[in-house]
Amino acid sequence: MKYDAIIIGSGQSGSPLSSALADLGLTVALIEERYLGGTCINTGCTPTKTMVHRAQVAHYARNAERWGVIARDAGVDLPKIVAQKDKVVLGFRGGKEKQVAKRPNLHLYRSHARFTGPHQIAVEGATHDSEKIFIDTGGRPHIPNVPGLAASGYLTNETILDLTVLPGHLIVLGGGYIGLEFAQMFARFGTQVTVIHDSPQIVPHEDPEVSAELQKALEAEGLNFLLNARTTGVERAGDALVLSLEVTSTDPLGVTKISAGAITGSHLLVATGRTPNTGDLGLDKAGIETDAHGFIKVNGRLETNVPGVWALGDVKGGPAFTHISYNDYQIVYANIIEGKNLSIDHRIVPYCVYTDPELGRAGLTEKEARAQGYKLKIGSAPMSSVSRAIERDETAGLMKLVVDATNDQILGATCLGANGGEVVHIPYTLMLGKLPYTVLKGGVFIHPTMAEGLFFLFNAVKPVD
């Protein structure tokens, strides 16, 4: 069959794009091998943030006396939490299914898709053609090549969501965003947690003082960290898992040493990155180029090297966030349908790591800005200077502003603190408008709010070498 558009994958690009094109009267094929909604709804944002919230409630209940509140025998009913998570997921997924069902010119194929040519897709035993094909197949957990790991019975960010019995000791392999969210979540549920990371700092993309402050806050809740630790093997010993490690350390004289060690736990979560779902798409038959890691190469307009074929969302590499995938849809729709010429090349990326304190970020880090040769102004303020944080007794964290000294425009912002993901949108708005930070330096901030901390942050901005 000949379609006006074929969309492979129903993530946060594919779903809205299929509906939008169908609403224009086009005949659209939407191909989804698993569940409608992609990673975000089914195994990413929706289920994890539902459970992160329950973990926060457990944290407040278990530590209620810190705030002068008496709460006895606080515990966690993990099966009930998982059931609540499933209900939210099914509700969101059901909404996606209704959106498809009400559009007769939107044809849903629940099967695997494979290219047989530049504009031909085989699915369910038939081949379909279109001059416009959009790839939104997302990614899956990356599993490192560690001896014994495959046979160990490890967990991923997908399978750990279905545990109904708390691990005795959860080992988290990977100190990035995903690993830390699950590490704190299960620690707050009542599990002993150890995070193993092969770099000298957790969330290595962030500036060192930000990572250090977040690690300090997590350690205060009982999480353990083994940094500069490379996993060399995994063994199952009865109900336990034993990880062999090589730990790199530097003594006071600057001499680097590598020592062997081991750690034993009941469960292992592998959170070492993402792999694109491109290996079985037949991209070679279409002549679509990928990089060394399998991500599809695109230009700023999200076009592949094959005319009429676009790649959106995580499958193209770059920032793996739901809102970025949705923005990919917005850009492609604006370019193809509205005749605009939008690009991702200079897109400012905001994001949030849903630890507590939250790590809200937008734009460049200081180390990135320095690497790009900017003359800088830097501002930093601890959350302990924010009245609202003091009143809530949640003063962990800091705020940081990276400013272009030549025009006072914000290059990057960090809000590590309670509601950090919300507060960071204020400097992000200035960044979108290309406005100097001084626009709000003398602004009136509601007292007391977390956003009021920006008053102290803006006033702390000073030139740096």
Angstrom distance (rounded) from CA 403 to CA 392: 30
Total residue length of the chain:
465
How deeply is 172 buried, as exposed, middle or buried, from its count of CB atoms within 10 A (0-12, 13-18, 19+)?
buried
Reference 271, options 212, 202, 332, 374; nearest CA is: 202
Listed in sequence order, the residues at least 6 apart from 168 whose beta carbon sits closer than 8 Å to its beta carbon are 191, 192, 265, 266, 267
Which phi and psi angles does 424 have, rounded to 5°? -65, -20
CA 452 vs CA 352, 355, 444, 448, 456: distances in Å = 19, 21, 9, 7, 8
Identify the DSSP state of 242. E
Listed in sequence order, the residues at least 6 apart from 426 whose beta carbon sits closer than 8 Å to its beta carbon are 440, 451, 454
Q: Which of 142, 293, 425, 447 is catalytic?
A: 447
Angstrom distance (rounded) from CA 105 to CA 22: 6
User: Quick check: is 447 catalytic?
Assistant: yes
Angstrom distance (rounded) from CA 336 to CA 340: 7
Q: Please state, as a whole number, how many other Cβ atoms lie within 10 Å of the Cβ of residue 262.
A: 11
Q: What is the radius of gyration, based on Cα positions, of the chain? A: 24
How deeply is 86 buried, as exposed, middle or buried, from its count of CB atoms within 10 A (0-12, 13-18, 19+)?
middle
Helix ranges (H only) for 347-419 are 366-371, 387-392
What's the start-to-end Cα distance of the chain, in Å? 63
Residue with tokens 């960090």: 414
What residues act catalytically?
447
